[in-house]
Structure 1
Amino acid sequence: MENHPKIEIMDTTLRDGEQTSGVSFVPHEKLMIARLLLEDLKVDRIEVASARVSDGEFNAVRMICDWAARRGMLHKVEVLGFVDGHVSVDWVRQAGGKVINLLTKGSEKHCRFQLKKTLAEHLDDIRQVVDYAHEQDMDVNVYLEDWSNGIKDSPDYVFGLMDGLIGSNIKRFMLPDTLGILNPLQVIEFMRKMRKRYPDVHLDFHAHNDYDLAVSNVLAAVLSGVKGLHTTINGLGERAGNAPLASVQAILKDHFHAVTNIDESRLNEVSRVVESYSGVVIPPNKPIVGDSVFTQVAGVHADGDNKNNLYCNDLLPERFGRVREYALGKNSGKANIRKNLESLGLELDEESMKKVTRRIIELGDRKEVVTQEDLPYIISDVLKHDSDKNKVRLLSYFVTLAQGLKPMATLSIEIDGKTYQESSSGDGQYDAFVRALRKIYKGTLGRKFPMLTNYAVSIPPGGRTDAFVQTVITWNSEGHEFRTRGLDADQTEAAIKATIKMLNMIENDFE
């Protein structure tokens, strides 16, 4: 094997990936993903659809081909076609495509039981389609469907098929492990047989992940000298999916010093777009792109990173457009908390650090991971630096919620040393609370009360019922817009905290 083999990446997220159960991209989503794959990630080729599927599919292919043609990339756009005389070729040509990936039978079983044909008959059918495609000025690649079973159980059939097609000006022979049955040792054995017999042919390998071996099998194929690999974003694909591009890229580069054209720094971004369009959530522990894979939880790891990056490997998050995070929880030490404070630009003295650490460990017992976003609130919660300076303090409040009745709120609040009490009903508990406040400010004090222009609630990662709720409220006070945040296990309480912060801000302005 050469020192730095050059590997061609064909991404089939838009064709095989879309065969994931429940996944269907609309045409503009397909175009967006195609652009990201070719322009941002710089994959060599993309397979975007199967011929003859639907009008929607036809429109998507036409949009992608139009776009690619304007950028001189049409030769990188491929469509799966079938051995069906002129039908598939015409479909692809009318959609503007220039490359057809022809699905042929790569195992004797498939040929005999599905097509009910002999190898010679199948070869005749294939050659007719290939010749017709070439007449239409199209490039042809050939899939040997079920090749893995074919080479295992009927190698003579596979060699007969290859021998029969080798002079037909086919660009690439693509060898799929259609049912995901191979292990890496078999891939090496079978691929080497293919390479030995057809040393000058461009071979692609297409893995499936049924035994969780897709990535390993891809690497075995590279070791055996294949020129091209098929991947999908996030490993989408039928059944257990295909080989995920991010993992394949990282291993090719770090373990084999192989050269690809992939721009690693865009992997995370493209992965998130595909996650959102496909609706298939990326598991947090998925290598390279998962939420948790660049998060250290143990305090000893943060300490080691402070002391010469002792807990880092070659998978540096910055490579993939990400940053390393230090999770805060019951295993956090002060080093973890320091790392988080550093990235927020905050500094604490030793005594305050101890208090904050204690509080995080306490919270970590209730909620597994405290996020960096939680940290400023925890600090102000624990240290209450400015509680004496606050001009507005909520002394007590009571909210009710009963079926068939409007929610009610009663509150007692201290403004500049004086206590005020008021009640109101509203459309919700928080609405009732704000109306009671408004009565005090507008009615009793004769002052303006800011308009609430936006109210956003989010649950920091973790999303369990005992997680924090963060409420961000946008206010408008005499044309000036500002935001306040509240953090609590209870949504209403979080909103009330954000509101009291707002009152203190306008009190200072009022002064």
Structure 2
Amino acid sequence: MKPRRIEIMDTTLRDGEQTSGVSFTAPEKLTLARLLLEELQVDRIEVASARVSDGEYESVRQIASWAREAGMLPKIEVLSFVDDGASLEWIHKAGGRTQNLLTKGSMNHLTHQLRKTPEAHFKAVGAVLSRAEDMDIRSNVYLEDWSNGMRESKEYVFQFLDFLQTQPVDRILLPDTLGILTPEETFTYLNEILGRYPDLHFDFHGHNDYDLSVANVLEALKAGIHGLHLTVNGMGERAGNAPLSSVVAVINDFLPEVEIGVCESSLYKVSKLVSAFTGIGIPSNKPIIGDNVFTQTAGIHADGDNKKNLYFNNLLPERFGRKRKYALGKTSGKANIQKNLQELGLSLSDAELKLVTARIIELGDRKERVTREDLPYIISDVLGTEGQPQQVFIRSYVLTHAKGLQPTTTVFLEIEGKTYEENARGDGQFDAFMNALRKVYKDLNRPLPDLIDYAVRIPPGSNSDALCETVITWKTGKREFTTRGLDSDQTVSAIKATEKMLNRCC
């Protein structure tokens, strides 16, 4: 049986812009309109509300101008109002040719907001539709608060639909304006309407107040709906609208009888751009597009992935232009580390891997976030001292730094089983530490190498604050050598590098 084609209308640029604090510029809207239609390949886009501002007018003008040249003008829609044709004039002047007329879909809204009878409302709506036809503007009609209308004033909804089927209307748009529907209600109401009006085209417009928008979309499709309204990243007023990315994945994986034209591989790219334009971050656990949703954290999962992909599901990251990642932390274990080493082209023995794993677990216990780019530094730090006998231990230290006062350090050392304690001041915390160390070694009549270079860096490409590496070059006589220390704190990493120096030469 041939799949039934469903229209996807994206309303990020109109309903999505009603997200608190969000406002697109005209160039941003044009950029996103082109991406939505050309790259994501949605069927239609709703780009603005008529008569809102000069900026909205310029957005519609630019988008309509581009769409006309690209042969896509019928895909551009603008929200309009029952306002004696003022919205129509605005749309026509901006170059638009499709209105989505906002009308009242419940007696509650009609009575208390418009204070009109159904007959008076229908007459006003009919006048706008007739005028749009004369202006060669196509019409879709929103039944605002339709879901409450079906719950509380079903007779009115059917009376309105009876009227609309006599009018020049392409689509009737049924919004769950306040996001109050359950999946069961969504199916029941739409099944009844679609059975009663088989010749009309209906779209479902879901909101997410109860986090049920995707479930409601699924039920709308099962009921036979012809089109869906979605937004990138689930943007929209209050809790937002049904998210485009999740709905696309659900349709493609669970509804073989339904066909859509959206290009999955472009979802992530467009989502990130919308996030950048709006300043609204994508939650890291947001399905399909969140930063962490294709990241395995538990080591047992990475191990399972090596054994016939035991922890994979149908949501393969490559479908959405992404890659699977394996997090490094206290729960990651050897399997996650091996996956990251493979990406870096590195290999370790079992004994070496055990040492590196222990260091990553230690960092995880301190709530430090380790990235793949940190791995070579950890390996260098851990394996660089492996097998080297340690007779000097910096057991404890106190670093103080106060405005207007010289930094001071108290250090407690263990050297060949004996303990020593000293304190000193310096030009910085590490300088004070070295001065205290020199006091200990002077009393022992042992020389310390000269510090001739000191460099601090973070792993190139790392986006975490887990680690910085301090590389210190020392000179004793004619010999120069370097030691490295690794820690999230710069001074502590320098102290670790110094401890390695003490065990090499003193």
Q: TM-score, normalised by structure 2?
A: 0.80
Question: Residue in 2 aligned with 1:91?
Answer: 90
Q: Would the aligned equivalents of 1:203 and 1:227 in 2 still touch at CA under 8 Å?
A: yes
SS at match of 1:174: strand
Moved more, 297-306 or 2-11: 2-11
Aligned residues of 1:106 and 1:147 also touching (Cα < 8 A): yes
**Whole-Å separation in 1 of the counterparts to 2:184 and 2:73:** 37
Aligned residue in 2 for 1:191: 190
C-alpha distance 330-167 of structure 1, shift in aligned 2 (>3 A): same
User: 2 CA distance for matches of 1:399 and 1:192?
Assistant: 72
Is 1:468 the counterpart of 2:471 in the alignment? no
> Structure 1 pair 160/310, CA: closer, same or farther in 2 (3 Å)?
same
- Are the counterparts in 1 of residues 105 and 144 from structure 2 also a CA contact under 8 Å? yes
Change (3 A) 1:492 1:30: farther
23 and 493 in structure 1: CA distance in 2 versus 1, 3 angstrom threshold: farther
Cα separation, 1, equivalents of 2:102 and 2:163: 15
In structure 2, relative to structure 1, the CA distance for the partners of 1:363 and 1:455 (3 Å cut) is closer
TM-superposition CA deviations, 1:410-469 (whole Å, max 9, x none): xxxxxxxxxxxxxx999xx99xxxxxxxxxxxxxxxx9x9xx9x99999735xxxxx415
Q: Residue type matched to 2:67 in 1?
A: A
Change (3 A) 1:493 1:23: farther
Residue 351 of structure 1 aligns with an amino acid whose one-letter code is A
The equivalent residue for 2:144 is 145
Q: What aligned pairs does 1:113-152 form with structure 2 within 5 A after superposition?
A: 113-152=112-151
1:347 alignment partner in structure 2: 347
How far apart, in 2, do the equivalents of 1:456 and 1:328 lie? 15
Equivalent position amino acid for 2:354 in 1: K
Q: Matched residue of 2:100: which SS?
A: strand
The alignment's C-alpha RMSD in Å is 3.5
Aligned runs of 1:249-398 on 2, under 5 Å? 249-257=248-256, 258-367=258-367, 369-384=369-384
User: Residue type matched to 1:301 in 2?
Assistant: H
What residue identity is the alignment partner of 1:47?
Answer: E
Does the 8 Å contact 1:457/1:469 carry over to 2?
no
**2:61 corresponds to:** 62
Q: CA deviation at 1:67?
A: 1.7
Inter-CA distance 43–179: structure 2 relative to 1 (3 Å threshold): same
Q: Note if contact 2:129-2:139 (Cα within 8 Å) is conserved in structure 1.
A: yes
Equivalents in 1 of 2:459, 2:22: separation in Å? 29
Map 1:410-425 to 2 at 5 A: none
CA distance in 1, matches of 2:382, 2:293: 30
Instruction: Please give the per-residue CA displacement for 1:216-250, whole angstroms capped at 9, x wherever unaligned.
Output: 00110000000100110110100000000000000
In structure 2, the residue matched to 1:210 is: 209
Which secondary structure does the structure 1 equivalent of 2:173 belong to? strand
Conservation of the 8 A alpha-carbon contact between 2:231 and 2:243:
yes
Alignment correspondent of 2:31: 32
Distance in 2 of aligned mates of 1:375 and 1:253: 38
Task: Tell me if structure 2 keeps the 8 A contact 1:9–1:45.
Answer: yes
Q: What is the aligned length?
A: 443
Where 1:200 maps in the other structure, the secondary structure is coil
Match of 2:244?
A: 245
Deviations 1:64-103 (A, max 9, x none): 1112222111111111000111100111111111111000
Equivalence for 1:75: 74
Aligned to 1:223: 222
1:48 maps to which residue?
47
Q: Identify the residue that residue 179 of structure 1 maps to in structure 2.
A: 178
Aligned-pair identity in percent equals 56
Unmatched tracts of structure 2, length 5 or more: 389-397, 409-425, 432-451, 471-483, 496-506
CA contact (8 A) 1:80 1:100 kept: yes
Find the aligned partners of 1:133 and 1:471 in 2 and give their Cα distance.
Answer: 68
Which amino acid letter does the alignment assign opposite residue 100 of structure 2? N
Distance 2:82 2:492 in 1: 65
Secondary structure in 1 aligned to 2:4?
coil
Give the gaps of 5 or more residues in structure 1.
389-397, 409-423, 431-446, 462-466, 473-484, 498-511
Mapped contact 1:458–1:469 kept (Cα < 8 A): no
Counterpart Cα distance in 2 of 1:32 and 1:91: 22
* Mapped partners of 2:485, 2:244: distance in 1: 40
Structure 1 pair 493–22 and aligned structure 2 pair: CA distance change class (3 A): farther
Task: After TM superposition, give the deviation of residue 5 of structure 1 in Å.
Answer: 2.5
Structure 2 residue identity aligned to 1:298: A
The verdict on how the C-alpha distance between 1:77 and 1:306 changes in structure 2, with shifts beyond 3 A counting, is same
Is the partner of 1:141 in helix, strand or coil? strand
Q: Provide the C-alpha distance between the structure 2 equivalents of 1:238 and 1:250, rounded to a whole number of angstroms.
A: 23
> In structure 1, what is the Cα distance between the partners aligned to 2:232 and 2:129?
30
Q: CA contact under 8 A between 2:206 and 2:242: conserved in structure 1? A: yes
Per the TM alignment, residue 372 of structure 1 is displaced from its structure 2 partner at its CA by: 1.5
TM-aligned CA distance change 1:68 to 1:165, over 3 Å: same
CA contact (8 A) 2:381 2:486 kept: no
* Contact 1:11–1:231, Cα closer than 8 Å, also in 2: yes
Alpha-carbon distance in structure 1 between the residues aligned to 2:330 and 2:34? 43
Structure number with bigger Rg: 2
1:79–1:405 distance in 2 versus 1, CA, 3 Å: farther
Which shifted more, 367-376 or 257-266?
Answer: 367-376
Determine if the alignment matches structure 1 residue 23 to structure 2 residue 22: yes
Q: CA deviation at 1:400?
A: 9.3
CA distance in structure 2 between the partners assigned to 1:57 and 1:14 by the alignment: 10
In structure 1, distance between residues paired with 2:254 and 2:183:
15
Distance of 2:485 and 2:57 partners within structure 1? 49
Q: In 2, Cα distance between the equivalents of 1:23 and 1:308?
A: 45
